[in-house]
Amino acid sequence: MNTQNAIDWPEKYLPGTGDNFVSNEVIVRGTTAAEVWRFLIDTSAWEGYYDNVADISFPQGGGPRLADGLAFSFGTFGFPPLAARVVEFRAPAEGVPGRLSWTAEQDGTPEERLDVLHAWLVEDLPGGRVRVLTQETQIGQPAAALAQERPNPMLNGHQAWLDGLVAAASK
């Protein structure tokens, strides 16, 4: 039996308990988890393969490569730059999926507040395949508004991120 790994969710962000949740996944040949991981954790590469991210910065230093506990900020989906922090970081290894997640927040009035957890799982599969799963839970009124749009911009945006990431890693 071949079971697939899953995202490890903190209770606060458990899928289905927030205001917006999306899940995107690709399984492809022609690259490895290590190659995908390299492009995923290097924020200086993001804008080269994903057009829905901007203004990436590291207010406490570090970067451009993500690391456990690293604080960074970035703009996406038309929001002002969100304050983010890496909360899980484990590179893929033989038989072990790569795991990356960060929280991101936007302060302000209740109408502006946003709190998210964006998680990634990157793993090699038998037969020379790679699985990349990204899921995000969002909490707040801006998230609820995004969830009502059709098609859901976050679902489509994350698919574009996955497609660009895999294309960059496959070159």
The CATH H-level superfamily of 18-170 is: START domain (3.30.530.20)
Residue ranges per domain, the chain? 18-170
Mean pLDDT by 10 residues, the chain (171 residues): 83 96 97 98 97 96 97 92 97 96 94 96 96 97 95 95 97 90
Strands (E), the chain: 20-29, 53-57, 71-76, 79-90, 98-106, 114-125, 129-139
All residues at 6 or more sequence positions from 171 whose CB lies less than 8 Å from its CB, including other chains: none
Tell me the pTM: 0.96
Q: Do residues 63 and 73 lie in contact, with contact meaning Cβ atoms separated by under 8 Å?
A: no
Question: For position 95, what pLDDT does the model report?
Answer: 92
